[in-house]
Homo-oligomer: A and B are copies of this chain.
Amino acid sequence: MGKKIIRNFGNTALPVTIVGANVNGKPNFMTVGFYAWVEYNPSIFSVSIDKKQFTNQGIKENGTFSVNIPSEKMMLVTDYIGLKSGRDIDKTKIFDVFYGDLETAPMINEAPVNYECKVIKTIDFNGSSDMFFGEVIKSYADEDLCEEGLNIKNIKPILLYFQKYYSVGSEIGDAYKVGLKYESK
C-alpha cells in the first residue's frame, strides 16, 4: 500500500462538546471539538479554546468551566452557539441552565451529560488557543437516561469530522476482549 504526504491533520472523528463558563456573571457557552479525557484518577479533562472567545475570558475569570455532551437532537443549537459569539448575542436564555458545587460553571439541563470542572492548569502553546485542564468535581446525567441505563445509544453524542457532523454508528466489538481472537502472524 503506497502512502502519500497530506497537508491536513486530525483525520478522525472528534467528540463534540459544549463548554460553559460564566462571563461577567452570566452563563456563556461554545462548541468545542478539541477535547480530551486526560487522566482517570483524578479525572481530568482538557479543552482548547481560542483566546478571542468570550468563553475563554470566562474560564479565566472564575477558574471553572463545564463540559456538556449534546445529543443529536441538539445539533442545530450546538452549531448555532459555535457560530455566534456571546459578545454579539445573549446566550443566557438559549438553555435551561443549572449550577453545581462550583457555583460558576453553568451547565445545560437539556444536554444528557454534564461535568463541572475546576481549572488546575492552563497551557499556551503560542498558537491561537489556551488549553485548559479541569478536574471533574461532579458529573450529572438525565435521570430518565439513568433509569434506562446510561449508554452511548441513549446519550447519542455528535461527532465532528472537518465540516460535517456524524452520529455514532453500530457497536462493532468488545474492547479489551476481541483482540484475544487476533492470531499473531
Contact = CB atoms under 8 A, between A and B. Distances in A.
Interface of A: 1-15, 17, 33-46, 48, 69, 72, 75-84, 89, 93-94, 96, 98, 109-110, 112-115, 120-121, 123, 125, 127-129, 131, 133, 136, 138-144, 146, 150-152, 155, 157-182, 184-185
Given A3-B141, A40-B128, A75 B178 contact: yes
Contacts of A185: 93-94
Given A164-B171, A172-B165, A157 B13 contact: yes
A143 B41 contact: no
B76 A110 contact: no
A3, A5, A14, A120, most chain B CB atoms within 10 A: A3
Contacts of A155: 11-12
A135 to B, nearest CB: 9
B48 A39 contact: yes
Contact of A172 (B4, B158, B170, B178): B158
Contacts of A178: 75-76, 79, 165
A6 B155 CA distance: 14
27 contacts: A2-B142, A7-B139, A9-B40, A9-B136, A10-B45, A11-B139, A11-B155, A11-B157, A12-B17, A12-B152, A34-B39, A36-B36, A36-B46, A37-B48, A38-B131, A39-B125, A44-B127, A76-B179, A80-B179, A83-B176, A83-B179, A89-B184, A120-B125, A151-B161, A152-B164, A158-B172, A165-B174
